[in-house]
């Protein structure tokens, strides 16, 4: 964990989720032609939004486990006759979206650490 700060903790989990999601989406693309393969994704953003809406993330609630990113398998759809439900174009769009998410998280961590450094040095360089 980056520290006891709840914001940094949530940002750390966000970076972890983006990294895990990239691997899952890349795995989907690699298995686009594998019969019976079911696409994978990572749940995180919806849980984070729900926790922020209820105030749970502010104190990291129940040990912060609600913010742990999780890989989930989409078994609800079957896109093709062979049972595979991967659409490469969709996966590539999701990878682009995920890249933006990751870049945003990195920017927010950088800004947060910059503010902490400013506070520690009392504005001196």
With cut-offs at 50, 70 and 90, classify the pLDDT of residue 8: confident
Q: What percent of the chain has pLDDT over 90?
A: 48
- Is the pLDDT score of 91 beyond 70? yes
With cut-offs at 50, 70 and 90, classify the pLDDT of residue 64: low
| Mean pLDDT (whole number) for 45-62 | 57
Predicted structure pTM score: 0.77
pLDDT value of residue 57 = 44
Which range, 54-58, 64-68, 88-92, has the best average confidence (pLDDT)? 88-92
Residue from 81, 64, 84, 82 nearest 73 by CA? 84
SS3 at position 62:
coil
Q: In which residue are the tokens 């940002």 written?
A: 11
- Is the pLDDT score of 61 beyond 60? no
Choice between 30 and 57, residue whose per-residue pLDDT is larger: 30
pLDDT value of residue 78 = 76
Residue from 67, 99, 56, 95 nearest 1 by CA? 67
Instruction: For residues 122 and 61, give the distance between their C-alpha atoms in angstroms, rounded to a whole number.
Output: 31
Distance of CA 99 to the CA centre of its chain: 10
Question: 40, 28 in Cβ contact below 8 A?
Answer: yes
91-108 core/surface letters (b: 16 or more CB in 10 A; e: else): beebbeebeebbeebeeb
pLDDT value of residue 108 = 92
pLDDT value of residue 22 = 97
pLDDT value of residue 96 = 97
């Amino acid at each position: 964990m980056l520290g006891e700060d709840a914001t940094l903790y949530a940002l750390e989990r966000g970076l972890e989720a983006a990294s895990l999601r990239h691997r899952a989406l890349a795995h989907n693309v690699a298995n686009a032609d594998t019969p019976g393969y079911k696409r994978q994704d990572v749940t995180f953003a919806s849980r984070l939004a729900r926790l922020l809406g209820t105030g749970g993330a502010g104190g990291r609630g129940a040990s912060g486990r609600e913010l742990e990113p999780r890989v989930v398998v989409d078994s609800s759809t079957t896109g093709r006759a062979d049972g595979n439900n991967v659409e490469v174009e969709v996966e590539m769009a999701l990878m682009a979206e995920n890249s933006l998410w990751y870049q945003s998280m990195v920017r927010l961590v950088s800004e947060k650490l910059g503010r902490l450094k400013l506070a520690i040095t009392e504005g001196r360089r």
